Structure 1
Amino acid sequence: MAEHARQILEGNWLGHATRPSSLLYPHQWSWDSAFTAIGYAHQDQDRAETELRSLFSGQWKNGLLPHIVFVDGGGPYFPGPEVWATEHSPNAPRRPLTSGIVQPPVHATAVWQVYRLARDRPRARRFLHDMLPKLDAWHAYLHRERTRIGSALVEIWHPWESGMDNSPLWDPVLARIQPRDGTAPEHLRTDLRVANPAERPTAAEYDRYLHLVALFRAHAYDDERIRAATPFAVRDVLFNSALVQADHDLTAIARELGKPSTKYEDWARATTQAVEDELWQDGSYADVDVVTGEVLDASTWSRFSPLFAGIPAGDRAEHVLDQLTDAMVEVEGLGPAVPSLSRKDPSFDPALYWRGPVWMNVNWFIYHGLRRYGRHDAAASLRTTMIELARKAGFSEHYHPSTGHGHGGAEFSWSAALVLDLLGQPAGGSSVVTPIGAPET
Structure 2
Amino acid sequence: MSDEALRAQVRDLLHRNMISGTRDGFTYHFTKPSPDTYPFQFFWDTCFHVFTLTALGEVDMAKKHMRSLFQMQQPDGFVGHMSYWKRLWPGRVTDLLQLRPKEVLQLYKPHMSALVQPPLAAQAVIRIYEADKDLAFVKEMLPKLKQLFRWLSKNRDFEGEGLLSIISPFESGMDWKASYDPVLGYDRGKAGPLLFWKVLQVDTFNFLKNYNLPAIYKGNKFIVKDVGFNTIYAQNLRAMSALCKLAGDATAARFDDQAARTEQSIMHYMFDKKDAAFYDLYGHHFQKLKVRTGTIFFPVVLKNVPKGICQCVLERHLLSRDGFNVDFPIPSLAVDEPAFNPHESLYIWRGPTWVVFNWFMQEHLLEKNYTEEAAMLLQSVKQLIRRSGFREYYHPLTGAGYGAEDFTWSGLVVDMIKRQNECERGSCS
TM over 0.5: yes
Describe the shift of the 1:411–1:433 C-alpha distance in structure 2 as closer, same or farther (beyond 3 A).
Answer: farther
Pairing of 1:323-402 with structure 2 (within 5 A): 323=316, 324-327=318-321, 328-331=324-327, 337-351=329-343, 352=345, 353-402=348-397
Secondary structure of 1:398 counterpart: strand
Quick check: 2:41–2:82 contact (8 Å CA) kept in 1? yes
Question: Where does residue 185 of structure 1 map in the other structure?
Answer: none
Work out which of the residue numbers 314, 326, 330 in structure 2 matches 1:321: 314
Query: Match for 1:319: what amino acid?
Result: C
Quick check: 1:309–1:369 contact (8 Å CA) kept in 2? no
Quick check: 1:341–1:356 contact (8 Å CA) kept in 2? yes
Describe the shift of the 1:265–1:252 C-alpha distance in structure 2 as closer, same or farther (beyond 3 A).
Answer: same
| Pairing 1:152–2:162 present | yes
Question: Where does residue 263 of structure 1 map in the other structure?
Answer: 254
The worse-fitting range, judged by mean Cα deviation, of 68-77 and 127-136 is 68-77
CA distance, structure 2, for counterparts of residue 93 and residue 138 of structure 1: 24
| Pairing 1:24–2:14 present | no
| Pairing 1:273–2:273 present | no
CA apart distance, 1:293: 4.1
CA distance, structure 1, for counterparts of residue 277 and residue 96 of structure 2: 41
Question: Where does residue 24 of structure 2 map in the other structure?
Answer: none
Pairing of 1:170-319 with structure 2 (within 5 A): 170-175=180-185, 202-260=192-250, 261-281=252-272, 282=274, 283-291=276-284, 293-319=286-312
How many positions carry a matched residue from both structures? 402
| Pairing 1:139–2:152 present | no
Work out which of the residue numbers 163, 167, 171 in structure 1 matches 2:177: 167
Structure showing greater relative contact order (alpha-carbon pairs closer than 8 Å, 6 or more residues apart) = 1
Question: Where does residue 181 of structure 1 map in the other structure?
Answer: none
Describe the shift of the 1:10–1:297 C-alpha distance in structure 2 as closer, same or farther (beyond 3 A).
Answer: same
Quick check: 1:237–1:306 contact (8 Å CA) kept in 2? yes
Describe the shift of the 1:2–1:30 C-alpha distance in structure 2 as closer, same or farther (beyond 3 A).
Answer: same
Secondary structure of 2:398 counterpart: coil
Question: Where does residue 418 of structure 2 map in the other structure?
Answer: 424
Q: TM-score, with normalisation over the residues of structure 1?
A: 0.85
Quick check: 1:307–1:372 contact (8 Å CA) kept in 2? no
- Percent identical among aligned pairs is 28
Secondary structure of 1:397 counterpart: strand
Query: Match for 2:420: what amino acid?
Result: P
Q: Cα RMSD over matched residues?
A: 2.5
Query: Match for 1:341: what amino acid?
Result: L
Which runs of 5 or more residues in structure 2 are unaligned? 1-5, 21-28
Describe the shift of the 1:81–1:205 C-alpha distance in structure 2 as closer, same or farther (beyond 3 A).
Answer: closer
Query: Match for 1:398: what amino acid?
Result: Y
| Pairing 1:39–2:30 present | no
CA apart distance, 1:26: 0.9
Quick check: 2:329–2:358 contact (8 Å CA) kept in 1? yes
Kindly provide the CA deviation profile for residues 313-368 of structure 1, in whole angstroms up to 9, marking residues without a partner as x. 2221111111211324342xxxx521111111111111242111110111111111
Quick check: 2:419–2:428 contact (8 Å CA) kept in 1? no
CA distance, structure 1, for counterparts of residue 108 and residue 253 of structure 2: 34
Describe the shift of the 1:129–1:431 C-alpha distance in structure 2 as closer, same or farther (beyond 3 A).
Answer: farther
CA distance, structure 2, for counterparts of residue 382 and residue 35 of structure 1: 18
CA apart distance, 1:139: 1.3
| Pairing 1:10–2:10 present | no
CA apart distance, 1:134: 1.3
CA distance, structure 2, for counterparts of residue 111 and residue 202 of structure 1: 40
CA distance, structure 2, for counterparts of residue 269 and residue 252 of structure 1: 14
CA distance, structure 2, for counterparts of residue 26 and residue 75 of structure 1: 11
Question: Where does residue 106 of structure 1 map in the other structure?
Answer: 120
Which runs of 5 or more residues in structure 1 are unaligned? 178-198, 436-441
CA distance, structure 1, for counterparts of residue 304 and residue 178 of structure 2: 24
Secondary structure of 1:14 counterpart: strand
Quick check: 1:308–1:365 contact (8 Å CA) kept in 2? no
Secondary structure of 1:387 counterpart: helix
Describe the shift of the 1:396–1:22 C-alpha distance in structure 2 as closer, same or farther (beyond 3 A).
Answer: same
Secondary structure of 2:281 counterpart: strand
Secondary structure of 2:295 counterpart: helix
Describe the shift of the 1:433–1:248 C-alpha distance in structure 2 as closer, same or farther (beyond 3 A).
Answer: farther
CA apart distance, 1:59: 2.3
Describe the shift of the 1:392–1:176 C-alpha distance in structure 2 as closer, same or farther (beyond 3 A).
Answer: closer
